[in-house]
Amino acid sequence: MKRIVLACAAGMSTSMVVTRMEKEAAARGLSYKIYAIPEQNLREELQNYPGEVAVVLLGPQVRFKLEENRKLTDSHQIPIAVIDTLAYGTLNGAKVLDQALALIN
């Protein structure tokens, strides 16, 4: 199963975004494992699941780590972006899922 990884500062709001993304994916009949990890664990996550991670989205609170993590994801040919701040702040799982899917496709 392909994975959508949200890398953040391990905050509660990211887990709420994940829950809403999962509900939206299920409603659309999409099969992705969607979950959040602390940003500092991203390297290990990519090593543990080679070929399974479809996209990485960074929480807005760790946006300053984008370029550092882009080097890591580029070496695995995985797209990465910062979650849209408004979608994140309003817990808009549909919009965040759309952002992830646009990066995958």
| 97 closest CA partner among 40, 28, 25, 45 | 25
Catalytic residues: 8
Three-class SS of residue 52?
coil
Distance of CA 6 to the CA centre of its chain: 3
Q: Which residues of 42-52 are buried (b: 16+ CB within 10 A; e: fewer)?
A: beebbeeeeee
CA distance 88 to 92: 6
